[in-house]
Amino acid sequence: MDILSKNYEIIKEIGRGGMGIVHLAHDKRLDRKVAVKMLQLDPNVEKDEADKIIQRFYKEGQSLAKLTHPNIVGIYDIGEEQGQYYMIMEFIEGKSLARLLQIKSNFTIDLVLAIGKQICGALSYIHDKGIYHRDIKPGNIMLSEDGQAKLTDFGLAKLSSAQYALTQTGSLFGSLMYIPPEQALGEKSLDHRADIYSMGITLYELLTGISPFFDDTIAIVVKKVIEEEPKPPSAIIPDIPPELDRIILKSVRKHPSERYQNIRDMENDIIDLIESRAEKSSAPSSNIIMQEQLGNPGLLSFSGKSEDNLLLSSIIQFLSLNNS
């Protein structure tokens, strides 16, 4: 009996993309839930191209195995069974931000800041290791039931050549609104500033409920990404503070040299804004009361500072969304 069928019981499909299908499964040995990502190869792809995709799939799994961060989905195993290539991943009890946007069209400012702080921290961690995600978007960020934002689907864009990606129309279109202009122009030497751009577009959508470059046709989306300057998020949601406008608009500048040059600088600006808002907030100072509202005291560790209480309040809001 092969390893996959011997050690894991597939329960149901929980996600699908241009490059693969994700299933919820039961790890028989460790008695836990896991996510099993199955690589789906287009039967029309030439053998040489398919071999390259498989090679990159394994290389990405090996890279992921070296990453340990609370805001990055973990990988447990990778393998092949009867021509089916798979990854065994950490299962997140929660929903993707894309799914949550379908439930509620936009998030509160404080929830967006909480998510932004966590994912910027994860990106800072991988950038320090010379790894770039290249596919940051709401669909690739999970929000767990304990309030952790988790970055997933590493290397999805890197797994496919431009030729192969163009055959995956739905997946390509789903990512186009988040790619930086240099990628839309066909540049191959992308760096960490592409992730910074995509992070800014993601935060923009979480705040306003819409991508600044949304359109129904690929050609117009690409044209907007390359040529059109996004309007400030506050032009759509007036309550958005000027400093958050500044953070987002700086991260999505057309030329990489005009963006944040380090994701840590963006993270620090978000933290400063969180702290500034917390000083003006009347959030309760009792950690215990807040954790009791979560229904699982001790699940999260917060310092008791007002900015942490504000984040915890935002997580409680997420739980009400998730259960709706």
CB 99 within 8 A of CB 144: no
**How far does Cα 89 stand from its chain's mean position?**
15
Place 156 in a pLDDT band, splitting at 50, 70 and 90.
Answer: very low
Q: From 63, 90, 117, give the residue that closes a domain.
A: 90
159 and 141 part of one domain = yes
Out of 96-105, 148-157, 183-192, least confident range: 148-157
Distance CA 136, CA 188 (A): 17
68 and 191 part of one domain = no
Overall average pLDDT of the 14-25 stretch: 84
Range of 68-77, 166-175, 181-190 with top mean pLDDT = 68-77
Amino acid at 22: V
Q: Which has more confidence, 311 or 214?
A: 214
Domain that holds residue 163: 94-279
126 and 217 part of one domain = yes
Strand partners, 147: none
Tokens for 245?
């406008």
102 and 212 part of one domain = yes
172 contacts: CB under 8 Å, gap ≥ 6: 18, 165, 166, 218
Place 28 in a pLDDT band, splitting at 50, 70 and 90.
Answer: very high
Note the pLDDT of residue 172: 53
> DSSP string covering 67-87, please?
---TTB--EEEEEEETTEEEE
Instruction: Residue 200: name the closest of 141, 131, 246, 158 by CA.
Output: 246
Distance CA 145, CA 151 (A): 15
Overall average pLDDT of the 232-258 stretch: 97
> DSSP string covering 210-245, please?
S-TT--SSHHHHHHHHHHPPPPPGGGTSTTS-HHHH
118 and 186 part of one domain = yes
Note the pLDDT of residue 179: 92
How many structural domains is the chain composed of? Answer: 2
Tell me how far CA of residue 101 lies from CA of 60, 140, 233, 311, in angstroms.
28, 13, 16, 19
Q: Is residue 310 part of a domain?
A: no
Note the pLDDT of residue 45: 83
110 and 235 part of one domain = yes
Out of 129-138, 173-182, 219-228, 245-254, least confident range: 173-182
Overall average pLDDT of the 240-251 stretch: 98
Q: From 90, 121, 147, give the residue that closes a domain.
A: 90
Q: Is residue 235 part of a domain?
A: yes
Place 311 in a pLDDT band, splitting at 50, 70 and 90.
Answer: low
Which residues are known catalytic residues?
A: 135
DSSP assignment letter at 27: E
169 and 109 part of one domain = yes
73 and 103 part of one domain = no
The pLDDT of residue 300 is above 80: no
What is the model's pTM? 0.81
CATH of the domain at 258: 1.10.510.10
* Mean pLDDT across the chain: 82
The pLDDT of residue 40 is above 70: yes
Q: Is residue 107 part of a domain?
A: yes
121 and 138 part of one domain = yes
Note the pLDDT of residue 254: 97
CB atoms inside a 10 Å sphere around CB 43: 6
Q: From 90, 118, 135, give the residue that closes a domain.
A: 90
